[in-house]
Amino acid sequence: MIELIQVPWSPFCLVQRRILEFAGAKFKIRDVPNGDRSLVWRITRQRYYQVPVLKDGACVVFETDENSQVIAKYLDERFNLGIFPPHWRGVQSIIWRHIENEVESITFKLNDIYWEEQNPVSDHLGFIRHKERKFGRGCLDRWRDQQSELLAQLSAALAPFEQALTDKPFLLEDRPLFVDFNLYGMIANFLYSGHYKMPADCPKLAEWRERVSTASHSEKLRP
């Protein structure tokens, strides 16, 4: 059985989980503490410490760089999903880079405002240390103070995707491709805490999110 090693609110883990669900795959979840990646280090034979990691029998799959999408491409081939069609190859690459930079850079901050609710007390020190080493001392308090501004930035970042849905149910075609799952994961991270709703100026994206959340690969195969 496939095993997804994850941090539950990680946007990149949420992407892979939705793809697995879309595929109709039998899989189990193994959560790791945000501050303890020893399991990942061990499973990957000391080659990787980030999440997600996919374990499919003896095969262990993880990313090779920031833009590799190794896990999603593995699942695409494993289950014949067709979410990386050749005619969209370059376009999807451009779009997912934009999503993982311009959108994710806002959504994770908004989710991290509620970090204390998502991390057990035993992980608090490690979480703060990890964030402050990367984003500077006091970053979590700063993001809380900037919450209204960050929400406005998110609406602006999502506006092109709202426009893209004017005449079609998904971002590029009438079925979900990788970029749909990718954007879905970033938005799922934003909504994870339960303190937010979809921006009011993104009604088409709200409908799209419902479609992506329930889409099934088997539907595409029906005559």
Domain segments of the chain: what residues?
A: 2-79, 86-216
Is there a common fold for 2-79 and 86-216? no
Read off the pLDDT of residues 77-107 as tens digits, 9 standing for 90 and up: 999 999 999 999 999 999 999 999 999 999 9
pLDDT digits 0-9 by tens, 30-82: 999 888 899 999 999 999 999 999 999 999 999 999 889 999 999 999 999 99
Q: Does the 2-79 domain belong in CATH 3.40.50.620?
A: no
Location of structure tokens 């999503």: 99
- pLDDT, residue 221, reads 43
User: Is the overall model pTM greater than 0.85, yes or no?
Assistant: yes
Judge contact between 164 and 171, C-beta under 8 A: yes
CA 80 vs CA 88, 149, 154, 177, 222: distances in Å: 16, 42, 33, 12, 15
Fold observed for domain 86-216:
Glutathione S-transferase Yfyf (Class Pi); Chain A, domain 2 (1.20.1050)
| Mean pLDDT score across all residues of the chain | 96
Contacts of 88 (CB under 8 A, 6+ apart): 172, 177
Listed in sequence order, the residues at least 6 apart from 176 whose beta carbon sits closer than 8 Å to its beta carbon are 22, 83, 170, 211, 212, 215
